[in-house]
Amino acid sequence: MTNNLIIQMKGVFKTYLAGDEPFMALNNVHLDIHQGEFLGITGKSGAGKTTLLNMIAGVSAVSAGEILFHWMGNDVPAPFVPIHTLSEDKLAQWRGEHLGIVYQSFELMPTLSLLQNVMLPPDFLGGYRPLITKQRAIELLEMVELADHAHKIPAHISGGQKQRVAIARALVNDPHLIIADEPTGNLDSVTAETILQIFEKLVEQGKTIVMVTHDESFSPRFTRRLKIADGVVSAPAKSDSAKSHPCTRPLQLFSVGKIGARTQPKNSGSAAIILHDVEKIYENAAGKFHALKNINLQLNYGQFISIVGKSGCGKSTLLNMVTGIDHPTSGEVLIGGEHIYNMSESKRALWRGKNMGVVFQFFQLLPTLTLLENTMLPMDYCDLYPFNERPARALELLKMVGLEDQAHKLPTAVSSGQQQCAAIARAIATDPSIILADEPTGNLDSRSAETVLQLFERLAKQGKTILIVTHDPSITERTDQTIILSDGEIIDPLVARALPYLSHPQMLEATKQAEKRRVAPRHVILKRGEEVEYFFIVIDGEVDVIMESKFRKKVGLTRLGPGQFFGEVELMQGGQAVAHVHAAEQGAELALLPKKLFFDLIDGSPLTRQSIREIATTRLAENRRRKTDQ
């Protein structure tokens, strides 16, 4: 990193007028940004992160202070450019020549292909008109791993993929400075890692990147980190910086739900959502895209359910099927016993308003209404609750998400995280029985996210169905059930539980090829000494593993339940069955993976091979010890 300044902020203040009282978003900020650094700025929702980036980009005018830009190309000094004094046309030209911007919401043109979106000029104002070839645009899409989707329109890809297109577009003019507002907030962990690696490579090439985030686990990736709180920028305490690098932390796995983890309400057994053989196919100039394939689901009232999967796997499309926003190509969707696609569009919209609360990936508040008025909207639309009671109810909902003091502010006067909390309050305004949320905590700091999750947990205990799309493993650990999607199909959750280190495509392959077998009570599954041709996963019921002692006495080794497996000792050691295995009193259902598939999977997943080898070694040692003891 060089010592040359590229941005200098001197005594910057930013004040918004919210009603009769001013709100100070930035308070006397002094900040030097150096060429070639990866600067991270962390802070909670409402701290001023986005406002700070808007100042640097000239998107919003300063209330007081100076913002100076300086570029030394080929070591030739140039004068500082006072960004805060430039006209709109000059600002547009300056941004086009020097700046790449990645917004919190990606803002792609919906009628253009991804390739065309990348080729768009980043700013239509001023005289700057960049020229970019299709080949350069394809190279940028390859950089963010989306070249195969180049000719699709934004509606046919996931939210995470749209964000990666926005990042490619930000690089189109080879800018000196890139500013990124929560660029990984809506991405799964694998895609987020891809983006961070891209940024690190750009910094190595001499680019300057300023990234704001509420996720402090990214801190070790930055060459320098600052904190912002109440509009004041400062260096973090030394203790804050002692965090592990994300690449060196233990792999976080998606939990597939905890059986019996929650005492369910009385109506929890009744079906809230049923999808039967649902498929969704999109068609465009590039051909057909199969977004969902043969989806069969039953989700009950009183459940807190998560949907996970990599960007583009079909998570948002699945939510759209349940909400009635997008028609399935084939199959049935029943919500609360209603065939929602037999309704007219207008009737379905009214039904959705009364029975469903929807929290979108981007909050979609009406900018001219206060948070209180936004929260009251569904009550007005559905004509629920007496008119004079609606303000008090809306205020109570805002209090539940920690926004009581912000109720009379416009959305632009609060942070993005606070806007998302307001969107959640709005979603539950009509007391719906089903709540669907697409990455609702993606843009929230940890405290705000915890408030939202606790609220969802309380609502599920009251008998509501909560369906949440997320890429955060810590959230799936709190849900009753996890639906894992890969390439538009559902992965068997017990395959995922038994083999958690496999990639999602590998889990899907195991799901497809597994042979399901029902075993009667006490029926023998394996006899000691016979060849083992399968890796066995318990799907339902239980099985007993029994050994013979040196005196030929039968001794119970263990009882295995759903998500546990056996047969790995013999497959890994290359021998015959070392124990008897039979179904327990209630019988069992098993998934059998053929030997060849088993080895193909572990050959493609070193972590899975290591994990299973360790389990096999431990079990074999226990078998020998117990045999000797008996």
**Three-state secondary structure string covering 70-126:** CCCECCECCCCEEHHHCCHHHHHHHHHHHEEEECCCCCCCCCCCHHHHHHCCCCCCC
Q: What percent of the chain has pLDDT over 70?
A: 86
| Predicted confidence band of residue 3 (pLDDT cuts 50, 70, 90) | low
Which pLDDT does position 222 carry in this prediction?
Answer: 94
Is it the case that residue 311 has pLDDT exceeding 90? no
Which pLDDT does position 178 carry in this prediction?
Answer: 93
Contact indicator for 360, 316 with CB cutoff of 8 Å: no
Which pLDDT does position 245 carry in this prediction?
Answer: 37
| Predicted confidence band of residue 208 (pLDDT cuts 50, 70, 90) | very high
For 350-388, the pLDDT digits (tens) are 888 888 888 876 667 887 788 999 899 888 888 888 888
Q: What is the DSSP string of 392-432?
A: HHHHHHHHHTT-GGGTTS-GGGS-HHHHHHHHHHHHTTT--
Rounded mean pLDDT of 218-229? 91
Q: What angle do CA 91, 94, 98 make, to 5 degrees?
A: 140
Q: By mean pLDDT, which of 212-216, 252-256, 266-270, 471-475 is the weakest?
A: 252-256
Does the model's pTM come out above 0.75? no
Is it the case that residue 186 has pLDDT exceeding 70? no
Most confident of 227-236, 368-377, 518-527: 518-527
β-strand pairing of 99-102 with 177-181: parallel
**Three-state secondary structure string covering 536-560:** EEEEEEEEEEEEECCCCCEEEEEEE
* DSSP state letter for 341: G
For 72-87, the pLDDT digits (tens) are 665 555 678 899 998 8
Q: What are the structural domains of the chain?
A: 5-246 (3.40.50.300), 266-491 (3.40.50.300), 496-629 (2.60.120.10)
| C-alpha closest to that of 299 among 257, 269, 266 | 269
| C-alpha closest to that of 40 among 229, 211, 189, 281 | 211
**Among positive and negative, which fits the CA dihedral 241, 477, 561, 509?**
negative
Which pLDDT does position 46 carry in this prediction?
Answer: 76
Which pLDDT does position 476 carry in this prediction?
Answer: 86
Contact indicator for 529, 581 with CB cutoff of 8 Å: no
Is it the case that residue 589 has pLDDT exceeding 90? yes
How high does pLDDT run on average in the chain?
82
For 137-159, the pLDDT digits (tens) are 898 898 888 888 888 877 777 77
Q: Which residues, at least 6 apart from 272, have a Cβ–Cβ distance to it below 8 Å?
A: 299, 300, 301, 303, 335, 336, 433, 434, 465
Q: In degrees rounded to 5, what are phi and psi of residue 287?
A: 115, -160
For 391-447, the pLDDT digits (tens) are 999 999 999 888 899 899 888 788 777 888 888 889 889 889 999 988 887 767 777
Q: By mean pLDDT, which of 172-186, 328-342, 560-574, 606-620 is the weakest?
A: 172-186
Is it the case that residue 26 has pLDDT exceeding 50? yes
Residue carrying structure tokens 């899907």 = 508
Contact indicator for 188, 17 with CB cutoff of 8 Å: no
Is it the case that residue 2 has pLDDT exceeding 70? no
Which pLDDT does position 188 carry in this prediction?
Answer: 66
Q: HSE of 119 in the Cβ direction (CA atoms, 13 Å)?
A: 15
Q: What is the DSSP string of 36-55?
A: T-EEEEE--TTSSHHHHHHH
Round to whole Å and give the CA distance between 277 and 292.
Answer: 10
Euclidean distance between the first and final Cα of the chain, in Å? Answer: 67
Rounded mean pLDDT of 575-587? 89
| C-alpha closest to that of 83 among 623, 92, 75 | 92
Classify 433 as helix, strand or coil: coil
For 530-564, the pLDDT digits (tens) are 999 999 999 999 999 988 766 566 777 889 999 89
